[in-house]
Amino acid sequence: MKKQAFNPYLPSWEYTPDCEPYVFGDRVYVYGSHDRFNSLMYCLNDYVCWSAPVDDLSDWRYEGVIYRKTDDPLNPRGNACLYAPDVTKGPDGRYYLYYSLDKFQIVSVAVCDTPAGEYKFYGYVHYEDGTRLGEREGDEPQFDPGVLTEGDRTYLYTGFCGIGDKERSGPMATVLDKDMVTIIEDPVFIMPSEPYSKGSGFEGHEFFEASSMRKIGDTYYFVYSSVLSFELCYATSNHPTKDFVYGGTIIANNDIGIDSYKAADLPMYYGGNDHGSIIEINGQWYIFHHRHTNGSNFSRQDCIEKIEILPDGSIPQVEMTSCGANDGPLSGKGEYPAYIACNLFCDTVCARTGWEWMPPEFPKITQDGKDGDEEQGYVCNMKSGATAGYKYFDFKDTKKIKLRVRGYGSGSFEIRTGLEGPALGTIPVMYTNVWEDYESDIDIPDGVYPLYIKYTGQGTVSLYSFTLE
List residues with catalytic annotation.
18, 209
Distance CA 309, CA 217 (A): 12
CB 173 within 8 A of CB 191: no
Q: How far is Cα 78 from Cα 74, in angstroms, rounded to an integer? A: 9
Q: How far apart are the first and last CA of the chain?
A: 22
What pairs with residue 48 in β-bridges?
Answer: 65
Contacts for 382 with CB less than 8 Å, ≥ 6 apart: 363, 388, 407, 409, 455, 460, 461, 462, 463
3-class SS of residue 323: coil
Instruction: For 204-299, list the strands marked E by DSSP.
Output: 207-216, 219-226, 231-237, 245-252, 277-281, 284-292
DSSP-assigned beta bridge partners for residue 57: none
DSSP state, residue 402:
E
* Angle, CA 110 vertex, CA 104 and CA 116 arms, to 5°: 125
CA separation for the pair 46, 85 (Å, rounded): 11
Torsion of CA 199, 201, 206, 207, to 10 degrees: -110
Answer whether the bond into residue 8 is a cis peptide, omega within 30°.
yes
CB 444 within 8 A of CB 424: yes
Phi-psi region of 343 (alpha: psi -120 to 50; beta: other; left: phi over 0): beta
What own/partner pairs with CB < 8 Å and gap ≥ 24 does 61-67 have? 63/29, 63/116, 64/116, 65/118, 66/31, 66/97, 66/112, 66/116, 66/117, 66/118, 66/119, 67/97, 67/99, 67/110, 67/118, 67/119
Decide: 227 and 170 in contact? Cβ < 8 Å.
no
Report the distance separating Cα 170 and Cα 190, nearest Å.
Answer: 7
